[in-house]
Amino acid sequence: MSCHTGDVGWIVSGARVLASAELATDSQSRRKGLLGRTSFSGALVIEPCNWVHTFGMKFAIDVAFVDRNGNVMKTQRMKRNRLGMPVFGTAFVVEAESGAFARWGLHVGDELEFRGHQSVESEPA
């Protein structure tokens, strides 16, 4: 996936656009994740990452563990203040507000791709 921090775009599976997405690819943005937000209407892609926690989160989340080929290896719903276990072979995770994956029709075995590399940090003046 290798993108720059601050990139925004879309999570796509085949011909389906599932959601708008933000990328967290540096250590600071990966540590922060969705902390401090009271809701989230898109997806957060955290790369590299093979485990997550929800300590300090204000809402439950859906998490997809994705390998380097973009294949969803595992999905899970995590309540607030939980510690997830590492999923070996995961290159990145996709986080969304709880219930989003059901609305999107996202399942284990789906292939995901990030599209729309547009940096929010370096917009032209």
Residue type, 37: R
DSSP secondary structure letter of residue 51: -
For a pLDDT cut of 90, what percent of the chain falls above it? 59
Q: Within a domain: residue 124?
A: no
- Give 11-62 pLDDT, tens digit per residue: 999 999 999 998 887 777 676 767 677 777 889 998 999 999 999 889 999 9
86 preceded by cis ω (within 30°)?
no
Asked whether residue 1 carries a pLDDT value surpassing 80, the answer given is no
CATH code, 30: 2.60.120.1140
Note whether residue 30 is domain-resident. Answer: yes
Query: Residue 4, SS3?
Result: coil
Mean pLDDT rounded to a whole number for the chain? 84
Between 25 and 1, the more confident residue is 25
Residue 18 lies in a domain: yes
**Structural domain count of the chain:** 1
pTM passes above 0.75 = yes
Instruction: Please report whether residue 123 resides in a domain.
Output: no
